Amino acid sequence: MVKNTIHINYLVLLEAFAGLLVSVALLLLFTFAVSGCTQTEKRDEAAKRPNVIVILTDQHNPNAISAHGNKYLSTPNLDYLVNNGISFANSYCTTPVCGPSRSSLITGLMPHNTGVDYNGDSMKDGVKNLGQILSTEGYETVWAGKWHIPGSYPQQKDIDTLAGFKVIDFYENDKPWDLGADTDAPLADATAEYIQQYSGEKPLLMYVQFHNPHDICHFPRKPENYPNVGPDVVLPPLPANHAIDPNEPEMIANSRFRDHYGDELLLSQGNDETRWRNYLWYYYRNTEMVDAEIGKVLDALRAKGMDENTIIVVSADHGDGMAEKKWAAKLSLYDGPAKVPFVVYYKDKVKATGVDNQLVVSGADVVPTILDYIGVNSNIVFDGVSRRPYIDSHKYDSADFVVTELAVDPFDKSLTGRMIRNNRYKYNYYSKGERNEELFDMVNDPLEMSNLAGNEDYLSVKTELKGQLKKRLTETKDPFQL
């Protein structure tokens, strides 16, 4: 009887063990199924969040876009984004020079808060860029092209990573890097290839920073490479405000003779009318070249089917004088150097508005606007603001304004200035020199030909703008003395 009892107990144990194996198997199957669903849900959730492509050109005056009404060049790819999105005609960089402005375009902060006041400066410790913000939000964050904070290109400085970004290696170190004519095509090709191979498991943030139309800087520096074109070529006309104001602020007038940190002005002193018109002709050809490279990126997005759910923002670090007031290149608060493109395209989400002449926007607004569209709330206090509310509603606040900084000489850091611009007026204040104030009615005088700063009829306007500027300086902890 005892042996029989033991035999029965073994059977019971075997049955129990078999049941346990079945339970474990079912549990594992359930776990794998749930895990699979979770991974699928994550991929689905990632697919819902928009990709973001930020395309930056260099030294790009927004007037050099054919969709903005310029018939002396053709930019079909930029035109597509303008006509099918919104393009702010009154868009200003945070400062009209490369590195400092770029620091704002990736952080949403003014240069005095990023620590990048001059080319060659590095950003302050603790300042977060958009790549760092979105990499913690599940984004694949990629950098392609120019950097300039401080090195022009990451590869030139043996930097294979930038904070928050994976860097696309697109060019060989032993080749020349000075011209967009050399670097922009390989950059566009590498960017298109990356998009083609993109897995789609994470939403994508990609900055694509081109070099042109910056090549125009070599026009005064290496004139032998830019001979006047032949008589069979129709040259663009000179702007109506080509002449220099004899009462120009002293600090700006002196900048025309600076032999360092932007010597294009000094080297352009001897230009006659024909040479200035050739400057414009070459500038437009450089712009057409970069537009063609932008087209490669857009084509890659379409081929991948990513254009349906991708926010595309186009801007630039600063503009170009384009012969207005005989100004070449940057480093001025005149509209030519200070204005930049600001285009937002998001298929079926941003209404095809075209050119907007109402709102005044800043390069510091790029990051907050992007975060607003993708639904990411950051605890960072930005100097810029999201422009999505306006884009969605077109309800305009007449009290809105932007501020632009100016620092013209790293060897004399006392030479600075500030601009405040609202929908109608623009007020400039310079730290040094005679005639250090400018006030322009940008509705009636968009070419800035009549300085109203000393006109008593506009004293109340100047006083109000000066007060708003002073308040903004305090709010953003700007050390500039007004």
- One-character DSSP codes across 67-112: GGT-TT---HHHHHHHHTSEEEEEEE-SSSSHHHHHHHHHHSS-HH
Q: How far apart are CA 386 and CA 407, in angstroms?
A: 26
Whole-number Cα distances in Å, 12 to 5, 9, 19, 344: 11, 5, 11, 72
**Closest C-alpha to 288, from 210, 358, 354, 232:** 210
Three-state DSSP state, 298: helix
Which amino acid, residue 27? L
Q: How far apart are CA 445 and CA 428, in angstroms?
A: 15
Whole-number Cα distances in Å, 412 to 260, 342, 407, 429: 12, 31, 9, 17
Q: What are phi and psi of 266, to 5 degrees?
A: -60, -40
Tell whether the torsion through CA atoms of 39, 42, 48 and 54 is positive or negative: negative
CA 72 to chain centre: 24
Pairing of strands 204-209, 51-57: parallel
The answer to whether the beta carbons of residues 125 and 115 sit under 8 Å apart is no
The answer to whether the beta carbons of residues 43 and 201 sit under 8 Å apart is yes
Sequential pLDDT tens for the chain (482 residues)? 334 443 445 444 445 545 555 554 555 545 545 445 455 554 555 558 999 999 999 999 999 999 999 999 999 999 999 999 999 999 999 999 999 999 999 999 999 999 999 999 999 999 999 999 999 999 999 999 999 898 888 766 655 558 999 999 988 877 888 999 999 999 999 999 999 999 999 999 999 999 999 999 999 999 999 999 989 999 999 999 999 999 999 999 999 999 999 999 999 999 999 999 999 999 999 999 999 999 999 999 999 999 999 999 999 999 999 999 999 999 999 999 999 999 999 999 999 999 999 999 999 999 999 999 999 998 899 999 999 999 999 888 877 999 999 999 999 999 999 999 999 999 999 999 999 999 999 999 999 999 999 999 999 999 999 999 999 999 999 999 99
Q: Which helix (H) or strand (E) holds 338?
A: helix 335-338
Q: What are phi and psi of 462, to 5 degrees?
A: -65, -40
Q: What is the pLDDT of residue 12?
A: 45
Q: How far apart are CA 228 and CA 388, in angstroms?
A: 45
Structure token pair of residue 337? 């150097």
The answer to whether the beta carbons of residues 380 and 133 sit under 8 Å apart is yes
Q: How far apart are CA 263 and CA 394, in angstroms?
A: 41
Q: How far apart are CA 50 and CA 374, in angstroms?
A: 6
Which amino acid, residue 425? Y
Q: What is the pLDDT of residue 154?
A: 77
- Alpha-carbon Rg for the chain, nearest whole angstrom, is 28
- The CATH code of the domain at 50-400 is 3.40.720.10
Q: Which DSSP state fits 444?
A: T
Q: What is the pLDDT of residue 320?
A: 98
Pairing of strands 401-407, 86-92: unpaired
Q: Which helix (H) or strand (E) holds 224?
A: none
Burial environment of residue 40 by CB neighbours within 10 A (0 to 12, 13 to 18, 19 or more): exposed
Pairing of strands 310-316, 204-209: unpaired
**Closest C-alpha to 240, from 85, 63, 88, 415:** 63
Q: How far apart are CA 421 and CA 92, in angstroms?
A: 9
**Cα distance between the two ends of the chain:** 107
Which amino acid, residue 33? A
Q: How far apart are CA 182 and CA 425, in angstroms?
A: 41
Q: What are phi and psi of 162, to 5 degrees?
A: -120, 150
Q: What are phi and psi of 43, to 5 degrees?
A: -65, -40
The answer to whether the beta carbons of residues 163 and 132 sit under 8 Å apart is yes
The answer to whether the beta carbons of residues 434 and 383 sit under 8 Å apart is no
Q: How far apart are CA 343 and CA 78, in angstroms?
A: 9
Q: How far apart are CA 225 and CA 455, in angstroms?
A: 46
Full-model pTM: 0.89
Q: How far apart are CA 379 and CA 130, in angstroms?
A: 13
Three-state DSSP state, 49: coil
